[in-house]
C-alpha cells in the first residue's frame, strides 16, 4: 500500500492531477513492469503471461494496490506480480510527490498463489484467508445428484474414473445424496439412456464428465442439446474461464449446462 495526504487522495478519487489520472497511469505501469520482469531481475526467466490485472482500493489515508498475474507455464509468477505491484506504487509516488512529498510505501507481500506443485497457498496476513474472498462451502443437504462419466477406456477398465469420483466426493461432502453413478462409453444410445434413468430417479442435477472435446467420439453436448429444454450458456462460460487458469485446452471444451426437457 501507499500512504498519502488528504489532498492527494482527493485528486485520485476525482481522477484529476497535474499529470493526469494517477491510478490509470499506475495500472499501465504495473502491467508493463510485470511483462518485463525478466529484464529487471537477473535470474528471473522470461515468461509468456496470460493475463495481468491491477486494481486499487482508495481509503481516506492510503491506496491499497493489488496485482494478479496468471500464466500456464510450469514456473510460478510470484515475482511478476510483485514487480507489477511495486511499479504501480512507485508510479503513484512519482505522480503525487509534487503535491505531497510526505509519502510512504510499505506492507507489500504475496497474498496468495495457486497452481503448481505446491497447490494453493495463502499468506497469513491475507484478508482472503478469513474474509470475503474465502469460498463458502454451501450446504447441499436434500439435493439429489447423479454422475455420469463418458470414457471408452474407463468403461472398459483400462483406467479408473477420476473426474467422476471427484464430483461424487464434492457433492456428497456437502450433504447431497447420490442417486446414480455410471461410467459409460462415448455412445449416443448409452448417454441418452443414462439421462433418462437420472430423470426417472428424480435427480435434481445430473453431472456429466467427459465427451466435450472435438473428436468424433465426443458427443456429450450434442446429445444433451437434443434432450434439453433450455441451455444455460453462462455456466459454460464460467467453466471455460475458470479452467483456462490451469490449461488453455479449456477453451476447446464444449460444456453445455442445460435444463432437462422432461421438467
Query: What CA–CA distance (Å, rounded) separates 32 from 44?
Result: 16
* pLDDT of amino acid 206: 96
Respond yes or no: is residue 21 known to be catalytic: no
* pLDDT of amino acid 129: 39
Query: What CA–CA distance (Å, rounded) separates 1 from 64?
Result: 4
What does the CA dihedral 114, 115, 120, 123 come to, rounded to 10 degrees? -40
Residues 6+ away with beta carbon under 8 Å from 10: none
- Helix (H/G/I), strand (E/B), else coil: 232: coil
Marked catalytic residue, from 21, 94, 152, 222: 94
Q: Is the pLDDT of residue 45 over 50?
A: yes
Question: On the CB side of 63, how many CA atoms lie within 13 Å of its CA?
Answer: 30
Query: What CA–CA distance (Å, rounded) separates 122 from 47?
Result: 23
- Is the domain 2-129 a CATH 3.10.20.340 member? no
Radius of gyration of the chain (CA): 24
Q: Check: CB of residue 86 under 8 Å from CB of residue 33.
A: yes
Mean pLDDT, rounded, of the chain? 89
Please name which of 163, 172, 28 lies closest in space to residue 92, comparing C-alpha atoms. 28
| Cell (9 digits) for 31 | 502491467
- Helix (H) or strand (E) holding 231, with range, is strand 228-231
Query: What CA–CA distance (Å, rounded) separates 76 from 82?
Result: 12
Query: What CA–CA distance (Å, rounded) separates 142 from 7?
Result: 56
Q: What is the DSSP string of 48-100?
A: --SEEEEEEEE-SSEEEEEEEEE--SSS--HHHHHHHHHHHHHHHHHHHTTT-
Percent of the chain with pLDDT over 70: 93
Model confidence, pTM: 0.51
Q: Check: CB of residue 148 under 8 Å from CB of residue 198.
A: yes
* pLDDT of amino acid 249: 85
Query: What CA–CA distance (Å, rounded) separates 63 from 103?
Result: 11
Query: What CA–CA distance (Å, rounded) separates 97 from 8?
Result: 9
Domain ranges of the chain: 2-129, 144-260
Region of 115 on the Ramachandran plot (φ > 0 left; ψ -120 to 50 alpha; else beta): left
Per-residue pLDDT tens over the stretch 179-220: 999 999 999 999 999 999 999 999 999 999 999 999 999 999
Per-residue pLDDT tens over the stretch 102-160: 999 999 999 988 876 666 778 887 654 344 444 445 678 889 999 999 999 999 999 99
Question: On the CB side of 212, how many CA atoms lie within 13 Å of its CA?
Answer: 21
| Cell (9 digits) for 120 | 494453493
Calculate the CA 187 to chain-centre distance. Answer: 32
Q: Is the pLDDT of residue 262 over 60?
A: no
Q: Could you please state the CATH topology (level 3) that the domain comprising 144-260 is classified under.
A: Molybdenum Cofactor Biosythetic Enzyme; Chain A (3.40.980)
- Helix (H) or strand (E) holding 182, with range, is strand 177-184
Amino acid at each position: 500500500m501507499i500512504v498519502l495526504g488528504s489532498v492527494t487522495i482527493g485528486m485520485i478519487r476525482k481522477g484529476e492531477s497535474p499529470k493526469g489520472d494517477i491510478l490509470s497511469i499506475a495500472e499501465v505501469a504495473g502491467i508493463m513492469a510485470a511483462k518485463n520482469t525478466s529484464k529487471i531481475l537477473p535470474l528471473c526467466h522470461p515468461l509468456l503471461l496470460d493475463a495481468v490485472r491491477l486494481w486499487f482500493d482508495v481509503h481516506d489515508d492510503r491506496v491499497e494496490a493489488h496485482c494478479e498475474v496468471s500464466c500456464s507455464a510450469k514456473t510460478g509468477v510470484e515475482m511478476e506480480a510483485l514487480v507489477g505491484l511495486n511499479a504501480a506504487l512507485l508510479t503513484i509516488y512519482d505522480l503525487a510527490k509534487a503535491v505531497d512529498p510526505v509519502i510512504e510505501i510499505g506492507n507489500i507481500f504475496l497474498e496468495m498463489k495457486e497452481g503448481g506443485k505446491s497447490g494453493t497457498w495463502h499468506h497469513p496476513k491475507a484478508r482472503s484467508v478469513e474474509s470475503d474472498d474465502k469460498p463458502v462451502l454451501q450446504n447441499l443437504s436434500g439435493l439429489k445428484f447423479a454422475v455420469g462419466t463418458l470414457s471408452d477406456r474407463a468403461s472398459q477398465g483400462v483406467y479408473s474414473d477420476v473426474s467422476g469420483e471427484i464430483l461424487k466426493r464434492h457433492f456428497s461432502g456437502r450433504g447431497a445424496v447420490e442417486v446414480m453413478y455410471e461410467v459409460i462409453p462415448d455412445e449416443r444410445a448409452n448417454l441418452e439412456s443414462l439421462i433418462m434413468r437420472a430423470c426417472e430417479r428424480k435427480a435434481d442435477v445430473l453431472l456429466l464428465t467427459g465427451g466435450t472435446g472435438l473428436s468424433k467420439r465426443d458427443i456429450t453436448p450434442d446429445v444433451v442439446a437434443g434432450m434439453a429444454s433450455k441451455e444455460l450458456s453462462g455456466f459454460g462460460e464460467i467453466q471455460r474461464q475458470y479452467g483456462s487458469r490451469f490449461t488453455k485446452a479449456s477453451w476447446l471444451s464444449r460444456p453445455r449446462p442445460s435444463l432437462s426437457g422432461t421438467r
